[in-house]
Amino acid sequence: MRRRVAQVLTGVVLAVAATRVWSGVPAMARAFTHAEGEGAAAAVQGGHVGFIAEGQSIAADKAATVNLHFRVDPGFHINSHTPKSDMLIPTRLVVAMVAGDPEVTAVDFPVGTPFAFAFEPKQKLDVYQGDVVLTAHVKAAAGQHSLKAELHYQACDQAACYPPKTLAIEQPFTAK
């Protein structure tokens, strides 16, 4: 079901998740995966996937985009948001929606790269490797903001896939 919804809505799963807690504040989350100040960058590392938070600026009170930059470790890949088999776990992003936060209306995922394991060369998978940038569509009032989310993914190498992981992220941005 999630996969079908994601495909219909261009990689955005619009299912609303039950309450999620961020910084002690109950929140509703809409499924779509630390730095201070503009231009600052910080990294958060999970199981074979990292997130690079870079300060960004957008126009206030207008539809805009914020980039979410992930990096998959060399020698590893994660399934795309639209894997080619129902047996594979798709990558997805769950955005925290707290009252007063900027509105996130959609998240675009990049096109995956074809990949085949050496032991199954005819079966092509759809994966992300290296740098992966998701694009969040937002609208925010003037001021400093953070987009808080969780990336759900499964990392694999040439020999095996590992248990699914969740990477909590926070992307700061300024609406001017």
- 33-79 per-position pLDDT tens digit: 333 344 445 666 778 999 999 989 999 999 999 999 999 999 999 99
What is the distance between the alpha carbons of residues 2 and 48, in angstroms, rounded to a whole number? 24
Q: Average pLDDT in the 160-170 region? A: 94
Number of H helices, E strands in the chain: 1, 15
What does the pLDDT read at residue 104? 95
Would you say the C-alpha torsion 32, 35, 36, 40 has a positive or negative sign?
Answer: negative
Please say if the pLDDT value at position 167 is more than 80: yes
Please say if the pLDDT value at position 9 is more than 80: no
Four-CA torsion 87, 156, 68, 148, nearest 10 degrees: 70
What is the distance between the alpha carbons of residues 173 and 120, in angstroms, rounded to a whole number? 43
pTM of the model: 0.76
Place of tokens 């903001």: 145
pLDDT band at 89 (very low <50, low <70, confident <90, very high): very high
Count CB-CB contacts under 10 A for residue 31.
Answer: 21
What does the pLDDT read at residue 141? 94
What does the pLDDT read at residue 38? 44
Beta strands per DSSP E along 23-158: 25-31, 41-45, 49-54, 56-58, 64-72, 77-79, 92-97, 103-108, 113-115, 125-128, 131-139, 143-153, 155-156
Helices (DSSP H) in the chain: which residue ranges? Answer: 2-8
When mean pLDDT is compared across 20-29, 66-75, 105-114, the lowest value belongs to 20-29
Please say if the pLDDT value at position 118 is more than 50: yes
Strand partners, 168: 150
Strand partners, 12: none
C-alpha dist (Å) from residue 117 to 20, 153, 159, 163: 36, 18, 8, 18
